[in-house]
Amino acid sequence: MALQARLLLPFFIIMLSSAISCYSSTSQPNPVLRHFGHEESGHDSQAYSSYFSNIADGDFKDLIKAVTDALSLKRFVRVGSISSTTSIKTVNVDDFGAEGDGTHDDTEAFMKAWKVACSSQGVVDLVVPQKKYRLKPITFSGPCKSDLTIQISGSIEASDDQSDYGEDGRHWLLFDSVQNLSVEGGGTINGNGKLWWQNSCKINKDLPCKDAPTALTFYRCTNLIVKNLKIQDAQQIHVSFEKCSNVQASKLTITAPEESPNTDGIHVTDTQNIRISSCVIGTGDDCISIVSGSKNLQATDITCGPGHGISIGSLGSGNSEAYVSGITVDGAKLSGTTNGVRIKTWQGGSGSAGNIKFQNVEMYNVTNPIIIDQSYCDQDKPCKKQGTAVQVKNVLYKNIQGTSASEVAIKFDCSKNFPCQGILLQNINLKGQAGDQKTATEALCNSVKLAYAGVVSPRCP
Ligand SMILES: *[C@@H]1O[C@H](CO)[C@@H](O)[C@H](O)[C@H]1NC(C)=O
Ligand SMILES: *[C@@H]1O[C@H](CO)[C@@H](O)[C@H](O)[C@H]1NC(C)=O
Domain with residue 297: its CATH number is: 2.160.20.10
Pair (243, 318) in one structural domain: no
Of 365, 366, 408, 431, the one to substitute when testing ligand 2's pocket (max ligand atoms within 8 A of C-beta) is: 365
The mean pLDDT of the chain is 86
Pair (16, 118) in one structural domain: no
Point out which residues pair with 333 in neighbouring strands: 303, 362
Query: Is the pLDDT score of 24 beyond 60?
Result: no
In this predicted structure, what is the pLDDT of residue 397? 98
Ligand 2 lined by 367 (C-beta under 6 Å): yes
Work out the average pLDDT over 105-134.
Answer: 97
Can 308 be counted among the known catalytic residues?
yes
Pair (268, 148) in one structural domain: yes
Q: Please give the helix or strand (H or E) that residue 399 lies within, else none.
A: strand 391-404
In 305-348, DSSP assigns E strands to 310-315, 321-335, 339-345
Ligand 1 lined by 245 (C-beta under 6 Å): no
Do 225 and 182 form a contact (C-beta atoms < 8 A)?
A: yes
Pair (316, 410) in one structural domain: yes
Ligand 2 centroid – CA 443 distance (Å) = 20
Reduce the DSSP state of residue 79 to 3 states and report it.
Answer: helix
Residue 30 burial by CB count (10 A; 0-12/13-18/19+): exposed, middle or buried?
A: middle
Range in 128-137, 192-201, 375-384 the model is least confident about: 375-384
pLDDT tens digits, 260-283: 999 999 999 999 999 999 999 999
Q: Quick check: is 281 in a domain?
A: no
Question: Among residues 275, 310, 338, which one ends one of the domains?
Answer: 275
Nearest residue to 241 via CA among 280, 301, 289? 289
What does each C-alpha distance from 459 to 51, 370, 399, 424, 427 come to in angstroms? 21, 12, 14, 12, 11
Quick one: which atom of ligand 1 is closest to the CA of 144? 13
Residue 54: give the domain boundaries: 2-72
Ligand 2 lined by 405 (C-beta under 6 Å): yes
Count of structural domains within the chain = 3
pLDDT tens digits, 339-366: 999 999 999 999 999 999 999 999 999 9
Pair (200, 323) in one structural domain: no
Query: Is the pLDDT score of 449 beyond 60?
Result: yes
Q: Quick check: is 394 in a domain?
A: yes
Q: What is the pTM of this model?
A: 0.84
Pair (327, 446) in one structural domain: yes
Residue owning the nearest CA to atom 4 of ligand 2: 405
